Amino acid sequence: MSEPTLSQQMAREILLKRRPWLVLAVALFVLSAVSRQSLVFLTALFALICALVPELWYRRALQHLRLDLELDRRTLLLGEELVLTLGVENRKFLPLPWLEVEIEIPAQLPLLSGRSLPSYKVQRALLVNTLAIWGFQRVRRRYRLYCPQRGVYSLGPVMVRTGDPFGWLIRQEQLERQVRLLVYPLVASLEDFGLTPLAPLGMQTSLLHLLEDPLRFAGVRPYQPGDDPRYLHWKASARGAGLYRKVFDPASTARLLLVLNINTFREPWMGIDVERQEWLISLTASLAVWGLKAGYQVGLLVNSLLAPWGDDETELEEGRQLVRSADATYHARVTVPCARGGEQERHLLTTLARLLPYMGAAIDPLLEQEALPLSTGGTLILVCAAAVLQESTIERLLELRRSGRAVQLVLCGEGDERAEAALAQAAGLIPVQHIRGKEQWRELLQMADMEKQSRAISQSEPPAQLA
C-alpha cells in the first residue's frame, strides 16, 4: 500500500472514532426539543461543537499552508556562519492556534540561534519551531548556523504538526522541502603548512624554460649561465658589451596536476582517519589556489567519490546509486582537467568540498592512466599520507620523471620503512616535502577561527568620530 493511501486510511479511522460525539449531539438535540429544556439544548450545542470543531481543523488545517526554506547563500567557506530562513504562510481564513515545524538539519552544523533536538537518524538533528498564525498571515523566522566542517549538507525535509484549539486531534505531514549547502575546504597559505615561501615546490624556473616557443620572439636579455647557446642573439651581442640571448613567449601555460590519495591507512579494514583526510584535502585546496595565482593551469585527480550536489534530481539519484553500489571502489575516480581562471578555482574547490569521507581505490592505476596525458614539462604533485605510500607508487613517479614530467611528493605523518627506503634511493629525482600531523591541523583551524572572529568584531565596531 502506498504512503498517501495509508495516511488517508489512518485519517479516516481517526474521524470514524469521533462519530459518537455527533450521534450524542443529535440525540441531545432531539431530547431538548421533546423536553423543552434549555440546559439540555446547551449540552447538545456543546457536544456538537466538540464533534465538528476538531474535525474541521483536522481536515482543513494543513490545506493552503505554504512553507519555504531559504539560505542566504549556498556556498561558503569553512568556519563561516549561515542564515536559514523559514517562511510560513497561511492562505485561508481558518487560523492555526498552534503550529509546530520540525526542520531536519545536519548535526555537524551547530545551531547558534533557535532550539534543536536530537533525531533518531544518524548525524541529524531537528530544528523545532512553534508558533500561532492567523488567517492570511505570513511569518518568517531566521536561524543562524555555524559551518565548522567541509562537505555537502542538506537541510530538510520538514515535518509539520497542527491541530484544533482543544488539542484533541493532531494532524501531521512531512513536506519534501530541502535546500542543499556546500562548505568549501579551508584554504591557507603554504607557509602555514610548513612549506617554504619562495618557490615552495622548486619548479617555476624549469617549467617556464621548458615551454618557450622559438617561433614567438619577444625580445632580448643578457646571457646567463645555463642558457641554451642556440638562442644567442649575435647581432645584439656584437653591438653590446656582452652576450645576449633571445627571449620567447611561452607556447602554452605551465600545467600542474594535483593528485590526492584520499586513503589514510594502508589496509581497507583499518578504516579512515577523517581528521587526517580533511588535513590532506585542505592542503590540496591550498596548493590549487596557489598554482592558479602563480599562473599555472591546475588540474585534479582523486581516488574518491563525490557527494551528490546540484538541482538536477536525475544526477542526484545517479550519484546516490553509485555511492550505494557494491562496486563503488572500482569507480572511485574524480578528474578535473587542467585549466586556469576564477571559474577553474571554483570548480576545484567545489570538487574538493564534495569528496566523501571514503576509503578510495588504489592510486597506482590512476597514476598510470590519468597522468600520461599530462604534457611533457608539466608538473605532478602527489599529496598523500606517508602511511599509505608504497614502493610501486614511487616507481610510477620515477617513470613519469623519466618521461620528462616534473614530479613532487607531499607527505603527511610517518611512513612505512620500506617506502622510506625507496624514497631514499630516489633522492634527488623526486623532491619530497613533509608536513606535520593532526596537531598542526588543529592549530590551523584555531588560527582561522580567530581570524574570522577578529574580522567580525572589526566589522561590527562603529566608525571613529572625528573631533
Q: Which of 284, 436, 410 is nearest to 351 (CA)?
A: 284
Question: Binning pLDDT at 50, 70 and 90, where does residue 133 land?
Answer: very high
pLDDT at 40: 85
Work out the average pLDDT over 397-426. 78
Highest mean pLDDT (candidates 277-281, 365-369, 418-422):
277-281
Instruction: Report whether pLDDT(11) > 80.
Output: no
Find the range with the poorest average confidence among 25-29, 72-76, 150-154, 315-319: 315-319
Cα distance between residue 378 and residue 9, in whole Å: 67
What are the C-alpha distances in Å from 260 to residues 31, 109, 273, 362?
A: 84, 26, 15, 11
Per the model's pLDDT, the better-predicted residue between 348 and 424 turns out to be 348
Burial class from Cβ neighbours inside 10 Å (0-12, 13-18, 19+) for residue 357 reads: middle
CA dist 360 and 144 (Å) reads 34
Which residues lie below 8 Å from residue 410, measured CB to CB, with a gap of 6+?
Answer: 195, 283, 287, 381, 382, 383, 384, 432, 433, 434, 435
Q: Under 8 Å CB-to-CB from 1, ≥6 apart: which residues?
A: 9
**Res 281: pLDDT:** 94
Can you give the C-alpha Rg of the chain in angstroms? 33
Average pLDDT on 266-282 reads 85
**Window from 65-69, 186-190, 231-235 with minimum mean pLDDT:** 231-235
Is 180 a residue whose pLDDT tops 70?
yes
CA distance 258 to 256: 6
261 grid coordinates:
590519495
